[in-house]
Chains A and B, each alone.
Chain A
Amino acid sequence: MIRFEQVAKRYPNGHVGLHELSFRVRRGEFLFVTGHSGAGKSTLLRLLLAMERPTSGKLLLAGQDLGQISNAQIPFLRRQIGVVFQNHQLLFDRTVFNNVALPLQILGLSKAEVAKRVDSALERVALSDKAELYPGDLSTGQQQRVGIARAIVHRPALLLADEPTGNLDPRLAAEIMGVFEDINRLGTSVLIASHDLALIARMRHRMLTLQRGRLIGDGEAGQ
C-alpha cells in the first residue's frame, strides 16, 4: 500500500524533516507513527498527502510515485485517502451532514447516494442523530467523530490521522481509537501519527518510532 524507499525531506532553510526513511505498509494494516514533536510525523503525513514532495528517495502509494505525481493528479490521489486532523478542520457554517457530505459532493454523486453514504458514515461514528446540527453545537469528541465520518464517507483505501486524540480525554481517546479499529476491520489501511504512547501501547498494533526524522523503531506497540 505504502512504500518509503530512502525517502528524505529537506527544507530550503536547511531543516531536515526526514532522513532517508524506508518502510512498507501492507494493504489493510493498522499502523502508528510516533515520536516527539519535530520527529517527522507530520512531515511523513504531508508527504503521503502530496502536500510536499520528497527531496530524494522513492515514495509509492498504491503504486503511484508521489515524487513524480503531477499537480493535476494530486486531487485524484487524495480521493483515495481519508484524513483526520487534530483540530478537526470542520466547516462551522455547514451542518454535520454537509461537512460529512463534502468528499461525496466533490465526487459528484447523486443526492440520494450522498444521503445514503453520509447516513452510513454518521451511524458508524454514532452521530446519526446529530446530522442537522452544526459543529459548534457538538462537544470536542463529537467534532472529532464528524471529522472521522468525513474521512471515511468516500470509502478511502487509506486513512491518515494526525494526532486525532490530542485534544481528547483518555476515555474519548479510547473511543475514537475504537472507531479507527472498526474502520480498519472493514479493510481500510489506517496510519495514525500520535505521541500518546500509553494509548498506543494498549492497542497492540505496529508502531514506527521516529526521532529527528530518522526511523529508530519498527515493531508491535507494547512489546
Chain B
Amino acid sequence: MSATRSPKVSERVAPKAAEPAPEQKKRGAHDDDGPDFRTLLHAWLESHRSSLLDSLRRLGKQPIGSFFTCLVMAVALSLPMGLSLLLSNVERLGGSWQRAAQISLYLKLDASSHDGEALREQIKGLPGVAEAEYVSREQALNEFQQQSGLGEALRELPENPLPGVVVVTPAQVDKPALEALRQRLAELPKVEAAQLDLVWVERLAAILKLGDRFVFGLTVLLVSALLLVIGNTIRLHIENRRTEIEVIKLVGGTDSYVRRPFLYMGALYGLGAGVLAWGVLAFGLNWLNDAVIGLSGLYGSDFALAGVPSADGLSLLLGAVLLGYIGAWIAVARHLSELAPR
C-alpha cells in the first residue's frame, strides 16, 4: 500500500540527481578556504553549549539516581569539611582560653601592699604584658576561704600564710616568649616565684594537631572514595552510551568531543554535591549550636559555633566541582581508549 502511495526512493530522488551538483562545488570551495576563526570559535562554543545541555538533560532524566549520587558525594565532602569546621571552632575556643593564660607572680611574704602595687605598675609597663593585677595577701586569703570551704580552719591559723600575687596576662601566647617573660618576671625584686602553667594549652594543641591529622587522613580517604564514586558513575554513563560513542568516533568526533559531555556531567555532579554538602553542614552546625550554647552557658561562656563561612562554602563548591571534573576525566581517559569503533 505504501508502495502505491509513494514512488520508489530512487524515483523520487532521480530528478535531484539530474541537477548539477552545487553541494559538491560548495564542498570543494569550503575545503580549499578552510573554516575561519569565527566559525571555529562558534563551533567550539556550540559544542560546549550542547554538551552542557545534554549533560543536564541526562541528569534530569534520572533525578533520583542523580540526587543519590550527589548525596553520596555530599556525605563524603561534608564529613571532613564538618570535622575541619568543628576543629576550627575548638581552636577558636582554645584561643580564647590561651588569651587567658596568665603568669602568677608569688611575692615574698615581707612584700607590703605598697610593694605589690608598685610592682604591678612596673610590670604593666613591660613589653609583652597586656594586663597586670595585684592580689593582696588579704584578698587572696578571703578568696581562698570562700572557694575552698576551709574558712573556719583558716581562721584558726596564727597568721595569713598566703603571699601577695601579681597576675600577669601576656599580650600573646607563644610558649618560648611566655617562658622568657616568666624568667624575666621571676628576677624582679620581691618576687618569690613565677608560675606559668601551659600544660593544658600544650595538651589542647596536641589534641588539635591530632585532630588536624585525622581530618587530613579522612579527607584523603574520602576524596579518594569520592573520585571512585564519580569515576564509577561516569563509567556507567560511558557504558550506557557505548554505541553512541562508537558512532560519534566513526563520523569524525574527536576524543575531546566525546569526553566533553562526561566532563560536564562530572562537574555537575560535583556542583550538586557541593551545594548539598554546604546545606548539610549549615544545617548540622546550626542544629549542634543549640546544644553547644546550652553547654557553654553552664560554664559561664557565651561561646557558640560559627556557621560555614562564605569563603569556606565557596571553596567547598569549587573543590567539589573540581573533584567531579577530575573524577570524570580519569574515568573517561581510562575507558575512552577501550571504546574504539568495532
Q: Contact residues of A with B, CB < 8 Å?
A: 49, 51, 72, 75-79, 83, 89, 91, 102-103, 105-110, 123-126, 145, 150, 154-155, 157, 174-179, 181-182, 185-188
Contact B10 A102, beta carbon cutoff 8 Å: no
- CB neighbours of A75 from chain B (8 A): 249, 252-255, 257
Least Cβ–Cβ distance between A110 and chain B, in angstroms: 7
Contact B248 A106, beta carbon cutoff 8 Å: yes
- CB neighbours of B47 from chain A (8 A): 105-106, 108
- CB neighbours of B12 from chain A (8 A): 126
Contact A187 B13, beta carbon cutoff 8 Å: no
Closest residue of chain B to A103, judged by CB? B251
Q: Is the CB of B14 closer than 8 A to any CB of chain A? A: yes
Known: A102-B248, A179-B13. 8 other contacts (CB 8 A): A51-B340, A75-B249, A77-B252, A78-B251, A78-B252, A124-B13, A182-B16, A186-B17
- In angstroms, Cα B26 to Cα A76, docked, is 18
> What would be 20 A-B contacts, judged by CB atoms less than 8 Å apart?
A51-B341, A72-B254, A79-B251, A83-B251, A89-B243, A89-B247, A89-B250, A102-B247, A108-B47, A110-B46, A123-B16, A125-B13, A175-B9, A175-B10, A178-B8, A181-B17, A182-B13, A185-B21, A186-B23, A186-B24
Cβ-defined partner of B43 (8 Å) among A108, A123, A126? A108
Contact A186 B340, beta carbon cutoff 8 Å: no
Closest residue of chain A to B18, judged by CB? A185
- CB neighbours of A145 from chain B (8 A): 9
Tell me the interface secondary structure of chain A in the complex.
helix
- Number of B residues with CB within 8 Å of any CB on chain A: 40
Given contacts A155-B24, A155-B26, A186-B24, contact A83 B13 (CB under 8 A): no
Least Cβ–Cβ distance between B260 and chain A, in angstroms: 11
Given contacts A79-B252, A182-B17, A186-B21, contact A105 B50 (CB under 8 A): yes
Contact B17 A185, beta carbon cutoff 8 Å: yes
Tell me the residues in window 219-257 of chain B with beta carbons closer than 8 Å to chain A beta carbons.
243-244, 246-255, 257
- In angstroms, Cα B253 to Cα A174, docked, is 31
- CB neighbours of B255 from chain A (8 A): 75
- CB neighbours of A72 from chain B (8 A): 254
Contact A178 B9, beta carbon cutoff 8 Å: yes
- In angstroms, Cα B16 to Cα A79, docked, is 24
- In angstroms, Cα B23 to Cα A126, docked, is 18
- CB neighbours of A107 from chain B (8 A): 43, 252
Q: Is the CB of B44 closer than 8 A to any CB of chain A? A: yes
Q: Is the CB of B310 closer than 8 A to any CB of chain A? A: no
Q: Is the CB of B42 closer than 8 A to any CB of chain A? A: yes
Q: Is the CB of B27 closer than 8 A to any CB of chain A? A: yes
- CB neighbours of A109 from chain B (8 A): 43, 46
Tell me the residues in window 22-48 of chain B with beta carbons closer than 8 Å to chain A beta carbons.
23-24, 26-27, 39-40, 42-44, 46-47
- In angstroms, Cα B304 to Cα A139, docked, is 70
- CB neighbours of B44 from chain A (8 A): 108
- In angstroms, Cα B252 to Cα A77, docked, is 7
Q: Is the CB of B4 closer than 8 A to any CB of chain A? A: no
Least Cβ–Cβ distance between B265 and chain A, in angstroms: 16
- In angstroms, Cα B244 to Cα A125, docked, is 22
